[in-house]
Structure 1
Amino acid sequence: MAKSGGDMKQNQYSGVEIIVGIPSYMEAKTIGFVTRQVDLGIKRFFPHMKALIVNADNNSGDDTRGAFLSTDTVTPKKYLTTPPGVKGKGNNLLNLFRFCKSRLSSLKVVVLVDADLRSITPEWIRYMAEPIFKGYEFALPRYSRHQFDGTITNHICYPLLYGVMGENVRQPIGGEFAFSPRVMLHWLDQKWLPTARLYGVDIFMTLNAILGKFRMCEVGLGSKIHNASAPKLGPMFTQVVTTFFQGLLKHKADWIGLLHENPKPKPLFGLKSLSAPQELSVDLRDMKDKLRGEFLSRKNLLKKYLSRYIYSSFWRMIDQDHYKMDTVLWTQAVYQILFTFDTGSPTVKRDIVEALKPLYFARSVTFDYETWKYQIDYAEELILDQATAFASQKPYFYGLYLQRAQDLDRRINKKN
């Protein structure tokens, strides 16, 4: 059995073929359970392969390190941390990737699992790793999540990838991934913007795997039970959206002008059906109060950059305290925000992401009212319908650039 009081010596984790990484920050209460499940999965399904469990931490003050290293495992363990004061999941994974790069001579697959999971089973390690051994290079999770959970995924990341890039990837920022060393080296070769070093890292990984044309698949994992929460206006939203918008627009030449109709899902491994999701409640009154405050502090910015119709529709929702941010209204609002991010100054880029927050909350409130009494299958149908709307409204997005060019021509002709 591996010693639990300290790191393994260098020669004891050479020749590693499987690395399971657990990024963390202040997860002392849950990381022991996750580590035990990972160890069981490795022992049960990959007993003849040399493996290593790596905790990539942010120098957590709750002794996550001690909780990880004191967990009894057969599989050797390694603890990595960022320097004091350096936070961010992206920095954790950058640390992990660099460590994995030093093991390239033997490494075959890397699996990532979040440190706050309560539903992880040993089978997850098998489900995630097996597709990589079969020739896929990036495996993403597919699991049951309550419609109040994963709202950035449901309303921004998934539909934009579907609509703009023609990629049907249901959980692009899920947290559980498996990948080949080749795609990991591709990520290391990219420019890591500040937000990609924080919560933006998951969408950074998925987007660059798509742009790099790596072979991708999805893995059914059942229900994800973790430290879930209702939609928040904190740094995670800003970091994910900023990373996503920057990455999309940097590679606009790869997708501009392409029309996609109903992109097919990726090949599915693991569990094939959805199970009951984690229960989650949400305080809609609190959400409404927050979105109202966000709107009032940014109404001049929204009035300037949104169309008159979208702005007036949203103003009526605020005025009447009744929210119906329907799919088409939401789709066009997101495309207007994305267009403004592309054409605006650095200050405008920063401000317009913040201005998206009240619109996002209004869409979340609307969706919650529409789905709260229905089963997960119905909510999934509406999420797919929304993604389809993003695809069908793509010409509207292109039209914003055409209108800008026409306005510029008129101004030039007027001067002449």
Structure 2
Amino acid sequence: MELSPSIIDKLEDIEAVDVVIGIQTKNVESTILHVLNVVYDGITRYLSSYRTLVVVSDGFSTDRTMELADIFDISPVKKIAIEQMGEPGKGNGMKTIIEIAHELNARAVGFVDGDLLSIKAEWIGELVRPVLYGRTDLVVPFYVRDKFDGLITNNFAYPFTMSYYGTDVRQPIGGEFCISRRLMGSLREHPLFPSDFGIDIFITSVAAAEDRRIREAMLGLKLHESTTKYVDPESSIVPMFRQVVRTMFDLAIYYTDKSKSMRSRDNDIAEVSDYFGPSPVPVKVDREKMFSTIVERYSGYGSVYRSVFPPRLFEHIGDFINGSAAMDAESWAECAWRMFAEYRKEKDVMLIDALRVIWFARFVSFYDECKDMDMLEAENRIKENARIFRDVMKKVLDSE
């Protein structure tokens, strides 16, 4: 991806910089000024001795996002607001920021979303300074989240990344990141760079697979406008599943040889310590609506399940649909790994769509397991389930 002439023109008066802070936006006119103001505050507090450029990379907004981002003055910090290159999609928006950072020879590139409500100035320091100080190649966020927040993270992205790469990154698709110049080089040249929602798991997976240093930043509570969409995941979060998981699976295939040596390390999963932080915003779950959706979608993939899963596992899924069994952690893990093993042969996205229904079933059972637990108890359950996910991986993949 080469920078467009219009972007090159905006960079003419900007010399080399140390840091680029990228803000991805799309129809966020209600939050962009707040995010810009907090980013400015963070730069002046924590990065005042560095040459920093703020880049607003907009994904073809139809509201006033670009207009507001363009006119908002954060002098003396430099800022440009540009329309991202390529097709609509978060990945292309971040790739645009990375190409600008490469052009300006930046040492660190931080990313924040433009719809954040809880962003604080301290986030900028926590994300960027460990990279500038040479302590890490990738900073990923650790947010305080409700036990039912992170639908894809808790039951899939986290245990998969931990199991396959031996890297215990609790929130591998957290949204906010900072990358080093070295990792930036690996990412921008990678043949599997995704155009959309797979970008977060792409960054974490590449860093893990290529043995880059990864560090978590404690950012506290996270609240953004898209959190409200969890009330109806079928129309919002679920469509994201295909993009995230396809990227996750494709990278796992790409790094098959490397992952074998990483899995052999058998790194343990960090224990959960006592928690004395703030309470997260509760996430509402319509359990009955979710279950109805699963039953409705299940029949469309029955032939896929029958061909991929052994009879006992196929029958267990049927028992869940009939309401006589739970989609327990071990059954879910076996479904996930067997579907991945099948995807390695065919790379058929229908397999991922079929798995999405089982993942949704796992979330319903997870809800049943944890609805009366406090946050710490639920987190311990997530860690326990991740260990099960890892153990099942060894049985399924090593038997091939």
- TM-score normalized with structure 2 length: 0.90
- Matches of 2:9 and 2:341, distance apart in 1: 50
d(CA) in 2 for partners of 1:336 and 1:255?
Answer: 17
Structure 1 residues 368-410: Cα deviation after superposition (integer angstroms, max 9, x where no partner): 1222232221111111111111222233112551xxxxxxxxx
In 1, the alpha carbon distance for the partners of 2:295 and 2:286 equals: 14
For 2:266, give the aligned amino acid. Answer: E
- Answer yes or no: is the 8 Å Cα contact 2:138–2:179 preserved in 1: yes
1:340 alignment partner in structure 2: 342
Name the SS of the counterpart of 1:342 in structure 2: helix
1:169 partner letter:
V
Matched to 1:309, the amino acid is: R
Residue 320 of structure 2, aligned match among 305, 317, 320: 317
User: Which digits, 9 at most, give the CA deviation of each residue in 1:80-131, with x for residues without a partner?
Assistant: 2135x82100110111111111101xx2211111111111100000111121
Structure-1 separation of matches of 2:90 and 2:81: 15
1:394 and 1:358 mapped to 2: Cα distance? Answer: 20
Letter in 2 for 1:18: V
Q: 1:108-147 residue pairs with structure 2 within 5 A?
A: 108-135=107-134, 136-147=136-147
- Alpha-carbon distance, 1:20 to partner: 0.7
Is the CA contact (8 Å cut-off) linking 2:290 and 2:360 kept in structure 1?
yes
Match of 1:259 in 2: 264
Shift of 1:289: 1.3
- Shift of the 179–379 alpha-carbon distance from structure 1 to 2, 3 Å rule, reads same
**Corresponding position of 1:409:** none
SS in 2 for 1:175: coil
- The answer on whether the counterparts of 1:142 and 1:220 sit within 8 Å (CA) in structure 2 is yes
Aligned residue in 2 for 1:249: 253
Percent identity of equivalent pairs: 27
Partner of 1:395: 394
- Which of 297, 304, 309 matches 2:307? 304
TM-superposed CA distance for 1:160, in Å, is 0.9
What is the CA-CA distance between 1:313 and the residue it aligns to? Answer: 0.9
Stretches of structure 2 that go unaligned for 5 or more consecutive residues are 1-7
Gaps of 5+ in 1: 1-6, 267-271, 402-416
How far did 1:279 drift? 2.0
Give me the whole-angstrom Cα distance separating, in 1, the residues matched to 2:269 and 2:114: 31
Which runs of structure 2 are paired with 1:72-83 in the superposition (5 Å)? Answer: 72-74=73-75, 75-82=77-84
Aligned to 2:260, the other structure's residue is in SS state: coil
Indicate if the aligned counterparts of 2:143 and 2:219 stay in contact, CA closer than 8 A.
Answer: yes
**Map of 1:83-102 to 2, 5 A cutoff?**
86-102=87-103
Separation (CA, whole Å) in 2 of partners of 1:377 and 1:60: 39
CA distance in 1, matches of 2:375, 2:238: 26
**8 A Cα contact 1:220 1:273, kept in partner:** no
Q: Cα distance, 1:11 vs. partner? A: 4.9
AA aligned opposite 1:334: A
Distance of aligned partners of 1:323 and 1:128 in 2 relative to their CA distance in 1, 3 Å threshold: farther
The answer for the alignment partner of 1:181 in structure 2 is 181
Amino acid at match of 2:317: F
Conserved 8 A contact 1:162-1:263: no
Secondary structure in 1 aligned to 2:322?
helix
Give the whole-Å Cα distance in 1 for the aligned partners of 2:284 and 2:383. 23
**Contact 2:35–2:115 under 8 Å retained in 1:** yes
Question: Contact 2:202/2:247 (CA < 8 Å) preserved in 1?
Answer: yes
How far did residue 264 of structure 1 move? 5.4
Q: Which 4+ stretches in 1 moved above 6 angstroms?
A: none
3-state secondary structure, aligned to 1:207: helix
**Aligned counterparts, 1:330-369, within 5 A:** 330-343=332-345, 345-346=346-347, 349-369=348-368
Please state how far the C-alpha of 1:13 moved relative to its aligned partner: 2.8
Is residue 237 from structure 1 mapped to residue 235 from structure 2 by the alignment?
A: no
1:2-41 pair list within 5 angstroms: 10-41=11-42
C-alpha distance in structure 2 between counterparts of 1:299 and 1:208, whole Å: 34
- The equivalent of 1:61 in structure 2 is 62
For 2:219 and 2:282, locate their aligned partners in 1 and report how far apart those are by CA, in whole Å.
17
Counterpart for residue 198 of structure 1: 196
Change (3 A) 1:46 1:265: farther
Segment of structure 1 superposing worse, 251-260 or 211-220: 251-260
Partner in structure 2 of residue 289 of structure 1: 292
Matches for 1:144-155 after TM superposition, within 5 Å: 144-155=144-155
Q: For the residues of structure 2 that align with 1:260 and 1:318, how far apart are their CA atoms? A: 38
1:261-280 alignment, distance < 5 Å: 261-263=266-268, 274-280=277-283
After TM superposition, the structure 1 stretch with the greater mean CA deviation from structure 2, 371-380 or 57-66, is: 371-380
* Displacement of 1:333: 1.0
Q: Return the offset for 1:159.
A: 0.2
Name the count of aligned residue pairs. Answer: 382
CA contact (8 A) 2:57 2:96 kept: yes
Letter in 1 for 2:110: V
Q: Which has the larger radius of gyration?
A: 1
CA gap 1:278/1:12 in 2 versus in 1, 3 angstroms? farther
Q: C-alpha distance in 1, partners of 2:10/2:391?
A: 56
Q: In structure 2, do the counterparts of structure 1 residues 240 and 273 end up closer, same or farther at CA, with 3 Å as the change threshold?
A: farther
Tell me if structure 1 keeps the 8 A contact 2:160–2:389.
yes
> How far apart are the structure 2 equivalents of 1:327 and 1:319?
18
Describe the shift of the 1:116–1:323 C-alpha distance in structure 2 as closer, same or farther (beyond 3 A): farther
Corresponding position of 2:4: none
1:269 match: none
Q: Which amino acid aligns with 1:97?
A: I
Residues 400 and 352 from structure 1, CA distance in 2 versus in 1: closer, same or farther, beyond 3 angstroms? Answer: farther
Q: Is the 8 A contact 1:336 1:400 kept in 2?
A: no
